[in-house]
A = this chain, B = another copy of it.
Amino acid sequence: MTNAELAILSLIAEKSRHGYEIEQVIEARGMRDWTEVGFSSIYYLLNKLEKAGLIESRLEQAEGRGPARKVYQITENGQEAQINATLAALSEPVNSYPPFLLAMSNLPMLPPAQILPALNIYRNTLTERKLELVAKVEQQSPMPGFVEAMFDYSINLIEAEMAWIERFITQVEAGNV
């Protein structure tokens, strides 16, 4: 199962929902920090999950204004699939291929005068991103342990990258590349 599929499936497992509602939940919870599901993909994914028999739908009248809603609920197969996909993701680190690493292999063709400003922007953006995450933690605190762990994970990885890039900038400045 893809990341996007699991994201949608998990939201439906929590509670029966229709497409538009899913978009609102994703937005409201700031879930775009750890998933990449655009609005235009939600209906596509719902369709795919329904075809696979992991969710099923029924039509329901809207509560306020608007047309009838197609409300999805998880099936038994869906529940099993969700657990399997979750355990699989928890046990298999994925390789990531950041463009940054690929760009590094082109360093020899660039003068330090061009490299250094780029690396500084990278570092500053990283710093900002970390501050944003720290602010969210403080703002939403207290939060359940696993949510805090999620933020902690992201913050730790950013810090590690920051530490590395500080060292690397020093190295480039010293001309040791």
Interface string of A33-57 (1 = CB under 8 A from B): 0111000000000000000000000
Q: Which residues of B contact A164 (CB under 8 A)?
A: 152-153, 156-157
Q: Give Cα A108 to B149, complex, Å.
A: 12
Identical chains bound together, number? 2
Which chain A residues (121-177) contact chain B, with CB distance < 8 Å? 121-122, 125-126, 129, 144-147, 149-150, 152-154, 156-157, 159-161, 163-164, 168, 171, 176-177
Instruction: Among B86, B100, B110, B157, point to the contact of A106 (Cβ < 8 A).
Output: B86
Instruction: Among B6, B99, B115, B156, point to the contact of A94 (Cβ < 8 A).
Output: B99
Which chain A residues (90-112) contact chain B, with CB distance < 8 Å? 90-94, 96-110
Q: Which residues of B contact A77 (CB under 8 A)?
A: none
User: Which residues of A line the B interface, CB within 8 A?
Assistant: 3, 6-7, 10, 13, 34-36, 82-83, 85-94, 96-110, 114-115, 117-119, 121-122, 125-126, 129, 144-147, 149-150, 152-154, 156-157, 159-161, 163-164, 168, 171, 176-177
A88-B103, A91-B125, A100-B153 are known; give 11 further A-B pairs, CB within 8 A. Answer: A87-B114, A89-B102, A91-B122, A94-B98, A101-B150, A104-B146, A105-B150, A108-B146, A146-B177, A156-B164, A159-B160
